[in-house]
Chains A and B, each alone.
Chain A
Amino acid sequence: MVDVPLGVAGVPPAEVEDVELYHPKSWVTHYVFSQDAKIIAVQYSVTALSIGLVALMLSWLMRLQLAFPGALSFIDADAYYQLITMHGMMMVVYVLTALFLGGFGNYLIPLMLGARDMVFPYANMLSFWFYLLAVVVLFASFAVPGGPTGAGWTLYPPQSITAGTPGLAWGIVMMLVSLMIFIVGFTMGGLNYVVTVLQGRTRGMTLMRMPLTVWGIFTASVMALLAFPALFVGAVMMLFDRLLGTSFFMPEIIEQGARLPYGGGSPILFQHLFWFFGHPEVYIVALPAFGIVSDLISVHARRNIFGYRMMVWAIVAIGALSFVVWAHHMYVSGMNPYFGFFFATTTLIIAIPTAIKVYNWVLTLWRGDIHLTTPMLFALAFIVTFVNGGLTGLFLGNVVVDVPLSDTMFVVAHFHMVMGVAPILVIFGAIYHWYPKVTGRLLSVPLGQFHFWVTFLGAYLIFFPMHYLGLMGVPRRYYEMGETAIYPPSAHDLNIFITVMALLVGAAQLAFVFNLIWSLRHGRGAGGNPWRACSLEWQTSATPPPHGNFGKELPIVYRWAYDYNVPGAPEDFIPQNQPPLAGEIASRAP
């Protein structure tokens, strides 16, 4: 172990090599083709949130169809499958991944680490423009002949590239191309996030002093860098199959009476590639949420995050383990059944570090000083939905239990709870928390409370009962539930109830959007550190932080990010860049 020189007051200024900052010369390079991570973060976030609204509206249409089959004449079965595909893909990749890594990552990593900017600002800018291009291609597929693909977000071949699935002509090609562009763009951004954490930390910011938010985003970025190539390879191979007639994934098949010129390919191969990306993707969304929620709870409960070290180790362990669980999505896919033993075991093992995180969140509340601010409310709601969704994950991860439940509404309810609702609640909490830093103004509290209660309770009421539809045997991806002896008539009433809730929750988001816009001008002034938080982003020279983030000198870090209510300290928090107080070193030593 390295000897730790414990500093004293009056250390010399930072010796960290300054990043070469680019200097925007015009409005366009300042706000449009900006290389400033904070601006890129806002660009990413606004784009992703807008797509989120679109995807939400698509889900209304789907829900309306499920509650009142055939009532909306423009939603035929083709359209329904296009809706679920676009909704699913948008939400998972273009909203959540982009928002957590591109949005929060860009904004928070440099600020929290005391860096002036990302290490490769130019690549960072390109990353956003690639993302935007990917989004444009994705949306363009609504306008091409045949419309977008309806293959489901999993894009399983042969179905995704044979007749009987909408969007066969153009939609699937544009989807694959869009994903490839996204991945290239993400790789540029991801290299930035990772290398900035490795190289850009200010003096004194050791790894174990980083806020958990950074740990979460960092680990997720590493995972994304290693997982997205699988989707990339799968997409290239599928494009070859679709456009050039190769048979990577295509066996001998008859398409509506005609023998296709394919042969020998393996549909399972695609599933392996897809889930090799797809499972880590779940954690790519979850880990940043874990990190952020840890910080929200700690700040608003005025207490150090409980078990910081365990939290870090758990994040890293989850990140590593989640690369060896992918086939739990394939228990009934027809792969070698003996894989089931291995993947069920790894999957349930991953539940242990995850559970530790949950315990530490609630143990942070224990003996805290809990301020029920809007971000805190969202953090609490996150715990509820995440625990719920995580526990149903134990059903689906346990091979044999997955047999009756796979591909039913139980699965839909599970993953919405755990990677839909829970991370979205964190995103909301995080926006209420950091909006004052980005804009200098607080979001309206009454609107925030309204938004919170409708969103949390509504979403819970949408997805909790949905599990029971699945248990009853309603498969997912059904254009209409249909009649079967085993579905009681009340199941249809439940469907209507869920839809009403979905519409309500959707409508409540208008309050949020309004709040975002209205508070920009009319929100209460926030000052530099409205939540009295320790981490560096709250200690900037000005709010919103200027170009270069910090004043003439970079902050020096003297302590971890969780010095709340330290015994003997005059205030209930000590910022990370606060040099040791008189007598502090002695009182803290073990």
Chain B
Amino acid sequence: MTIVVAFLVLVIGIAAWWLSTQRIMSKPWLEIGVIDEPPGAGPPAAAKIGLCVFLAVAGVLFALSISAYSMRLQAADWWPLPAPRLLWFNTGLLILASATLEWTKAQSRHASLDGVRFGLVGAGVFTLAFVVGQLVVWRELVEEGYFLASNPANAFFYLMTGLHGLHVMGGLVALARVTLRAFSADEVGVERGKLRLGVELCAIYWHFLLVVWLVLFALIAGWAGDFFEICRQALS
């Protein structure tokens, strides 16, 4: 459980830093009158804050699975499964999707509607390809006899890629909505602000998905095993 606690310490640290900017040492009974928020670049959109909070939640979810993984790993019946080649290709796809969204974000700032449309579709295609690729990996593994229940390593592989895949698919739904909006938006108007926000949110979420995937991939490929070994020795 060290991993999830470490993650939480990070989250709590951010929360504490934020609280420290909120004048929580002040004596409210002495302050009569309007207190305006400290002048700044204007509050970020609620949706963005909402997404960040959600990322913390999803982050705990993955941190917990990794914690469970690292505890179960120590049992004697653990046989790591080979990391299929295709995973590298899929990783590439997800990186491309993430990069495309970053590019799209820049486009939306430059007010290039065509660029935004192009980027959104591109990111969607890459991501979809990633999901299909992951399914192909599952099929390959099953064909080679790495069934879900035959070993805990397999079980965790399917569980964690599955959880990640579900998050990706949820993201795809949001991406589809933003894409639709991009195609129905005209050059000016309120919609543009919303569109830009939507693109930005997608980009943030995709970067998160990418980071999570890289961590999971590192675990699956076995590099993380050494890391756990070091941790365990440091602890005991």
Contact = CB atoms under 8 A, between A and B. Distances in A.
Are A and B close enough to touch in the complex, i.e. CB under 8 Å?
A: yes
Contacts of B25: 1, 309
B216 to A, nearest CB: 14
Given A119-B50, A206-B35, A246-B149, A226 B28 contact: no
A263 B78 CA distance: 11
Nearest to A194: B53
A141 to B, nearest CB: 24
Interface stretch (A2-10, A50-58, A372-380): A2-10
A195 B33 contact: no
The winner among B34, B46, B68, B71 for most chain A CB atoms within 10 A is B34
Contacts of A206: 22-23, 28, 35, 37
B46 A588 contact: no
Contacts of B188: none
A203 B37 CA distance: 8
A404 interface: no
Contacts, number: 175
B57 A229 contact: yes
Interface in B36-73: 36-38, 43, 46-47, 49-50, 53-54, 56-57, 60-61, 64-65, 68, 71-72
Contacts of A272: 1, 71
Given A119-B50, A209-B28, A229 B75 contact: no
Interface in B68-99: 68, 71-72, 75-78
The winner among B31, B43, B61, B78 for most chain A CB atoms within 10 A is B31
B29 A560 contact: yes
Given A229-B61, A248-B155, A266-B75, A204 B35 contact: yes
Interface in A573-588: 579-580, 584-585, 588
Give the size category of A's interface with B.
35 or more
Contact of B77 (A229, A236, A263, A559): A263
Contacts of A240: 148, 155, 159
B8 interface: yes
B135 interface: no
A269 B68 contact: yes
B155 to A, nearest CB: 4
Contacts of A204: 34-36
B152 A585 contact: no
Contacts of B61: 229, 232-233
Given A229-B60, A304-B29, A203 B36 contact: yes
Contacts of B26: 1, 4, 208
B30 interface: yes
Interface in A219-238: 222, 225-226, 229-230, 232-233, 236-237
Given A200-B46, A248-B72, A313 B24 contact: yes
A294 to B, nearest CB: 14
Contact of B71 (A1, A199, A229, A269): A269
B152 A312 contact: no
Interface string A187-220: 1000100110011100110111100000000000
A1 B21 CA distance: 8
A2 B37 CA distance: 9
Interface in B204-221: none
Given A199-B43, A264-B75, A247 B155 contact: yes
A245 interface: yes
A44 B15 CA distance: 29
Contacts of B56: 225-226
B27 interface: yes
Contacts of B49: 195, 198-199
Contacts of B38: 2
Interface string A262-277: 0111100100110010
Nearest to A585: B32
B12 interface: yes
Given A323-B8, A324-B5, A187 B57 contact: yes
Nearest to A203: B34
The winner among B27, B155, B163 for most chain A CB atoms within 10 A is B155
Contact of B148 (A8, A246, A590): A246
Interface string A1-37: 1101111100100000000000000000000000000
A308 interface: yes
A191 B53 contact: yes
A558 interface: yes
Contacts of A312: 24
Nearest to A5: B36
Contacts of B22: 206-208
B173 interface: no
Nearest to A188: B54
A265 B8 contact: no
Contacts of A200: 46
Contacts of B54: 187, 191
B34 A556 contact: yes
B68 A11 contact: no
Interface string A511-547: 0000000000000000000000000000000000000
A580 B152 contact: no
Given A226-B56, A266-B72, A584 B32 contact: yes
Contacts of B1: 272, 276
A486 interface: no
Interface in B100-129: none
A237 B159 contact: yes
Contacts of B174: none
A120 interface: yes
Contacts of B12: 320, 323
B169 interface: no
A529 B166 CA distance: 48
B181 to A, nearest CB: 16
Nearest to B22: A207
Contacts of A247: 77, 149, 152, 155
Given A207-B22, A264-B77, A273 B155 contact: no
A122 to B, nearest CB: 12
A225 B72 contact: no
Contacts of B78: 264
A120 B46 contact: yes
B19 interface: yes
Interface string A289-331: 0000000000000001000110011001000100110000000
Contacts of B68: 233, 237, 248, 269, 273
B185 interface: no
Contact of B28 (A11, A120, A195, A560): A560
A501 B101 CA distance: 64
B11 interface: yes
B34 A7 contact: yes
29 contacts: A1-B25, A5-B36, A7-B34, A7-B35, A120-B50, A187-B57, A191-B50, A195-B53, A199-B46, A225-B56, A226-B57, A232-B61, A237-B159, A245-B148, A245-B149, A246-B149, A264-B77, A266-B71, A269-B68, A269-B72, A309-B28, A560-B28, A560-B29, A579-B33, A584-B32, A585-B33, A588-B29, A589-B30, A590-B30
The 7 closest A-B pairs by CB, nearest first: A7-B33, A7-B34, A264-B77, A245-B149, A560-B28, A246-B155, A229-B61
Given A232-B61, A580-B33, 19 more contacts: A4-B35, A7-B35, A195-B53, A199-B49, A203-B34, A225-B56, A229-B61, A236-B159, A236-B163, A246-B148, A264-B77, A264-B78, A276-B1, A276-B4, A308-B29, A560-B28, A579-B33, A588-B30, A589-B30
